[in-house]
Homo-oligomer: A and B are copies of this chain.
């Protein structure tokens, strides 16, 4: 499975962001990508940096204008496309949502971010109602697990996604440094971010793909570094910290069984002893 991760900066103008993403999707498809993944909330600047009720106007339904554009693009290019959106539900709730679109242009998966941060620069609890379960989509090129950004810090979430059959877990992401953080803190945060996701790959024998944005938006410097890790946690493709990039990686899915048979960790889970994880 050839996957492509779209790492870019975002401006104040949604139309420009969406057009840039569309260009990058075309670029990725031209390079033979079968699964193309956007960064988190690619259509906008990272608005949860502040609590501002006017930002709710950025949300849209699914289907809605952005998802319809993505569906048309996936169909035109005959690719699987995972897109991240600020979703407004008919129920009145708002979600941080990923959709997976099939090459026929239909939405075949929809996932609402389960873990919601609420820290300086990342006030997502102000906006998003959390989702209730990981979502896994069986496609004709592989099984895709949908997770989003902050989910990446929770081994339980990656494990649940893998147990549902995911072969590649994708994490559209928007993570960066606050202006006051020094070089040591910055290096440690980027390393921790990469380490914990590589560990998910190792623990469950799955591919992991994280897609982060770049650029400075107010107080935040997004650290890019989008990467793909193989089922033993080895990074097989990685983008830089500053550059916009269509990052391509070829995931040989046969390596999943190979990893799981050499290190049969899933065999040896003691699920009946894990009840306290749910309390």
Contacts and interface: CB of A to CB of B under 8 A. Distances in A.
Interface stretch (A59-67, A69-77, A138-146, A188-196): A188-196
A221 to B, nearest CB: 17
A202 B119 CA distance: 17
Interface in A129-158: 130, 132-133, 150, 153-157
B233 A160 contact: no
A183 interface: no
B199 A195 contact: yes
A240 interface: no
Among A115, A157, A160, A192, find the residue whose CB has the most chain B CB atoms closer than 10 A: A192
Interface in A220-279: 232-234, 263-265, 268-279
Nearest to A229: B195
Contacts of A269: 115, 154, 156
A114 B274 CA distance: 11
A117 interface: yes
A233 B160 CA distance: 23
B278 A275 contact: yes
A187 B173 CA distance: 29
Contacts of A164: 276
A163 interface: yes
Given A119-B264, A153-B265, 18 more contacts: A114-B270, A115-B269, A117-B268, A150-B268, A153-B202, A156-B159, A156-B274, A157-B270, A163-B277, A164-B276, A188-B234, A191-B233, A195-B199, A195-B202, A196-B199, A199-B199, A275-B278, A277-B278
